[in-house]
């Protein structure tokens, strides 16, 4: 498909001005086309696009932001508006189309096709919501079809402790039932606002004093890094890389540097970043500004998942308040909105998305600390990692380390959901076990349910039996069992759960969320689902398939997608009979 990149693409060319296209020696004259090749731009659509974009820059990296603006205004992305946007941004139509169709939250309507219904109800069918009755909810909502409403399945929305959940437009419905969802779809009210700590209250409580000490020269970057190293702080988005080492690597890199904050938690079972940002976003913001000062980042890009619109509104206002208060003289802070792609939680895919592209993971090396955002050395940190920076530096790294269990420094937030009485974010000592979470922090198992197994690290972290519930949930503790703690998303399962069904739910998630870039992941997840859904499992074939996915996939999605399969075969053989 050819783009419409020239300035006069919307006007027919005067036939008198067409070029002589005769071939040598032929003597004949063939007039050129009276208009440019490719999709033509509708002047009315171009006017509408310009009205929506107003004075926003037309930079390439803002493509996803502009697509959001158009969809927010019109409820979908029409072919005529995409063509006009490509013209306005001087991009090929293919560039705009491939990005718009990559992300699940963009409703692209092809030419001459009918637009989607006015209201979209998304029902989460990931594991925690499936355990809480998502399938029955979907069936009930589809029993009485409405021409102005569509009901679609959606992956994890980061509210697993309130399962099942649905979203009416952008309005989250917690503990959803068919009646409450229909009621929400009938009301035009905006989503309920959250009440986090605001800028003035945060500063009144001593907030940004640490940042002031840094900017005023009362602290040195080396001193800040030293305290973080003493604390044993690690990346808490899943990888667990030592934070002090990462900051030192980026700080030592040559050339202008940037920073990205990963707030795109999409791992089924994970909702801790939502919890932090709904309550005290300024702790994360201060941590990010201190980190930018330490490594010398000229700009900070906060990448927030699209499922958190209330948090987006808060961050938008609070970032402006920071600039007005003179707290960002050393860096610029940009807020970017995801568009429904789990893969963008992978740091290089997130960077591609911030640049306005499809979220395709990059090959390594080079690593993002060497060449990341806009090809500059880039520091990438998770929300929770940055949330702890103020407490660690103000109270000392040794103080933070002592809060954990022996050999497991610091506090951790465990997102606990599933078959427990009191799910939620549990802020406890690092190294806490699943049994302790259930019995001491979640009020025990649901009535009538017996503890059978658990996911220690979300969908990709594998599944362990109840007999192994006394293992410390920390980095480096579960790998020998084929599992890992990842983002500390713990989903509790009971004797009422068939582990084959649990694993199939997880593999369907990976199949749907694979970016499609590499064959082992794209085709492997699809084949795994087909083999698992067929009844009895072909164990040798599934083992071979998971090995290929693990060894040949580009990123962690394909590499870890087979973990649930292997866990069920290893720890729950009785469920395979």
Q: Around Cβ 117, how many Cβ atoms within 10 Å? A: 17
| pLDDT tens digits for range 2-52 | 343 333 333 333 333 333 333 334 444 555 555 556 668 999 999 999 999
Beta strands in 456-541 (DSSP E): 464-465, 489-494
Q: What's the confidence (pLDDT) of residue 145?
A: 81
pLDDT at 3: 42
Q: Provide the pLDDT for residue 191.
A: 62
pLDDT attached to residue 18: 35
- Structural tokens at position 212: 């002031």
What whole-number distance in Å separates Cα of residue 493 and Cα of residue 132?
A: 11
The pair of three-digit structure tokens given for residue 299, joined into one six-digit string: 């700009």
Contact 257, 377 (CB under 8 A): yes
Burial letters 142-170, b for 16+ CB under 10 A, else e: eeeeeeebbbeebbbbbbbbbbbbbbbbb
Does the N-terminal peptide bond of residue 448 adopt cis geometry, omega within 30 degrees of 0? no
Question: What is the model's pLDDT at position 5?
Answer: 39
Beta strands 119-124 and 166-168: pairing type? antiparallel
DSSP 8-class letter at 302: E
User: Residue 210: its pLDDT value, please?
Assistant: 98
Rg (CA), the chain: 26
Confirm whether pTM is higher than 0.85.
yes
How confident is the prediction along the chain (577 residues), in pLDDT tens digits per residue? 434 333 333 333 333 333 333 333 444 455 555 555 666 899 999 999 999 999 999 999 999 999 999 999 999 999 999 999 999 999 999 999 999 999 999 999 998 899 999 999 999 999 999 999 999 999 999 998 888 999 999 999 999 999 999 999 989 999 999 999 999 988 877 666 789 999 999 999 999 999 999 999 999 999 999 999 999 999 999 889 999 999 999 999 999 999 999 999 999 999 999 999 999 999 999 999 999 999 999 999 999 999 999 999 999 999 999 999 999 999 999 999 999 999 999 999 999 999 999 999 999 999 999 999 999 999 999 999 999 999 999 999 999 999 999 999 999 999 999 999 999 999 999 999 999 999 999 999 999 999 999 999 999 999 999 999 999 999 999 999 999 999 999 999 999 999 999 999 999 999 999 999 999 999 999 999 999 998 889 999 999 999 999 999 999 999 999 999 999 999 999 999 7
pLDDT at 370: 96
Residue 540: exposure state from Cβ atoms within 10 A (0-12, 13-18, ≥19)? exposed
Residue with tokens 């739910």: 505
DSSP β-bridge partners for residue 428? 412
Q: Please, are residues 272 and 264 in contact by the beta-carbon 8 Å criterion? A: no
Handedness of CA 460, 465, 470, 476 (dihedral sign): negative
pLDDT at 187: 83
Q: What is the pLDDT of residue 570?
A: 97
Output the pLDDT for position 33: 55
Regarding beta strands 166-168 and 171-173, do their DSSP bridges make them parallel or antiparallel, or are they unpaired?
antiparallel
Phi and psi torsions of 261, nearest 5°: -105, 120
State both tokens at 447: 């009535």
């Amino acid at each position: 498909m050819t783009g419409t990149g020239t300035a006069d693409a919307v006007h027919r060319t005067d036939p008198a001005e067409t070029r002589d296209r005769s071939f040598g020696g032929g003597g004949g004259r063939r007039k050129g086309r009276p208009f440019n090749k490719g999709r033509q731009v509708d002047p009315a659509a171009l006017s509408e696009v310009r009205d929506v974009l107003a004075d926003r820059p037309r930079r390439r990296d803002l493509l996803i932001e502009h697509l959001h603006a158009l969809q927010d205004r019109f409820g979908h992305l029409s072919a005529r508006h995409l063509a006009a946007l490509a013209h306005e941004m001087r991009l090929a139509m293919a560039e705009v189309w491939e990005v718009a169709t990559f992300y699940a939250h963009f409703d692209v309507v092809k030419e001459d096709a009918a637009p989607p219904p006015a209201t979209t109800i998304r029902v989460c069918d990931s594991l925690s919501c499936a355990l809480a009755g998502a399938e029955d909810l979907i069936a009930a909502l589809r029993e009485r079809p409405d021409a102005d409403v569509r009901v679609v399945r959606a992956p994890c929305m980061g509210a697993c402790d309130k399962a099942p959940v649905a979203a009416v437009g952008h309005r989250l419905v917690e503990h959803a039932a068919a009646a409450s969802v229909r009621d929400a779809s009938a009301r035009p009210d905006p989503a309920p606002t959250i009440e986090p700590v605001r800028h003035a209250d945060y500063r009144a409580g001593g907030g940004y004093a640490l940042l002031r000490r840094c900017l005023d020269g009362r602290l040195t970057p080396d001193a800040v890094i030293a305290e973080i190293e003493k604390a044993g702080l690690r990346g808490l988005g899943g990888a667990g890389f030592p934070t002090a080492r990462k900051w030192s690597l980026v700080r030592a890199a040559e050339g202008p540097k940037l920073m990205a904050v990963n707030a795109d938690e999409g791992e089924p079972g994970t909702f801790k970043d939502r919890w932090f940002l709904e309550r005290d976003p300024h702790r994360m913001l201060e941590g990010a500004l201190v980190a930018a000062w330490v490594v010398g980042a000229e700009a900070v890009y906060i990448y927030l998942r699209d499922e958190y619109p209330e948090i987006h509104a808060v961050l938008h206002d609070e970032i402006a308040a920071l600039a007005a208060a003179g707290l960002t003289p050393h860096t610029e802070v940009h807020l970017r909105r995801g568009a429904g792609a789990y893969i963008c939680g992978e740091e290089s895919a997130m960077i591609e998305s911030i640049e306005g592209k499809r979220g395709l993971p990059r090959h390594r090396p080079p690593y993002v600390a060497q060449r990341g955002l806009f090809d500059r050395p880039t520091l990438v940190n998770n929300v929770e990692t940055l949330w702890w920076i103020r407490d660690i530096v103000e109270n000392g790294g040794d103080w933070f380390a002592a809060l954990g269990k022996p050999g497991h420094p610091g506090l951790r937030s465990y997102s606990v959901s599933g078959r427990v009485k009191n799910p939620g974010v549990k802020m406890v000592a690092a190294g806490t076990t699943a049994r302790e979470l259930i019995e001491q922090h979640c009020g025990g198992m649901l009535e009538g349910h017996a503890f059978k197994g658990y996911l220690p690290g979300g969908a990709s972290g594998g599944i362990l039996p109840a007999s192994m519930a006394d293992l410390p949930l920390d980095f480096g503790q579960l790998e020998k069992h084929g599992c890992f703690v990842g983002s500390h998303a713990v989903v509790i399962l009971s004797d009422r759960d068939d582990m084959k069904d649990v694993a199939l739910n997880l593999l369907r998630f990976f199949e749907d969320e694979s970016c499609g870039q590499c064959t082992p992941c794209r085709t492997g997840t699809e084949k795994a689902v087909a083999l698992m859904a067929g009844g009895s499992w072909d164990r040798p074939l599934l083992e071979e398939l998971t090995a290929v996915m693990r060894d040949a996939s580009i990123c962690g999605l394909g590499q870890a997608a087979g973990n649930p399969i292997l866990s069920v075969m290893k720890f729950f053989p009785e469920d395979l009979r």
